[in-house]
Amino acid sequence: MISVRFKVNNEWVELLVHPHHRLIDILREELDLTGAKEGCGGGECGSCTVIMNGQPVNACLVLAPEVDGAEILTVEGLSKDEELDIVQEAFIDEGALQCGYCTPGMIMSAKALLMRNPNPTREEVIEAISGNLCRCTGYIRIVNAVLKAAQKARV
């Protein structure tokens, strides 16, 4: 077991974890942050996407020791009480979700894009979410939601 100290959703946590455990295990099993979902365990589907030090990462590909000192943002950290983040609101307004399983990962990929590029083109949005698989929506409303969130953020 090793000790890691890192920030999750703006709060410091310190944990003893197995070195071969992954960030997704820590979030879901240790911290009860079940928003990030496991869809493949191999970095292929993007449903476990969270933001680590400002970058979108597949939480299933990050090993526990790498988390030490990092700053992690999960979907649970986006809303404050019942006040939603602009991306979350846009997903609801555009109907950009169906079964909802890929949604947290999709939202975090979108959020990471808007953090580094507040003014993305349609192509940039598509590129940013092309690592996130969705079998329900056909993606179009997701793309529209991200563009709408960007537009709203600019106003």
- Residue ranges in contact with another protein by CB under 8 A: 28-29, 32-42, 44-45, 47, 74-76, 78-79, 84, 88, 91-93, 95, 97-104, 107, 125-127, 129-143
Residue 75 burial by CB count (10 A; 0-12/13-18/19+): exposed, middle or buried? Answer: buried
Residue 60 DSSP label:
T
The Cα angle at residue 41 between residues 37 and 47, in degrees rounded to 5: 30
Q: How far is the CB of 15 from another protein (least distance, A)?
A: 17
> Given the complex with another protein, which of 116 and 135 has the nearer CB atom?
135
147, two tokens: 């563009």
Q: How far is the CB of 36 from another protein (least distance, A)?
A: 8
> Given the complex with another protein, which of 4 and 103 has the nearer CB atom?
103
Q: How far is the CB of 107 from another protein (least distance, A)?
A: 6
Q: How far is the CB of 45 from another protein (least distance, A)?
A: 6
With tokens 């969270």, the residue in question is: 50
What is the spatial distance between Cα 81 and Cα 145, in angstroms, rounded to a whole number?
22
> Given the complex with another protein, which of 68 and 98 has the nearer CB atom?
98
> Given the complex with another protein, which of 39 and 62 has the nearer CB atom?
39
Residue 107 burial by CB count (10 A; 0-12/13-18/19+): exposed, middle or buried? Answer: buried
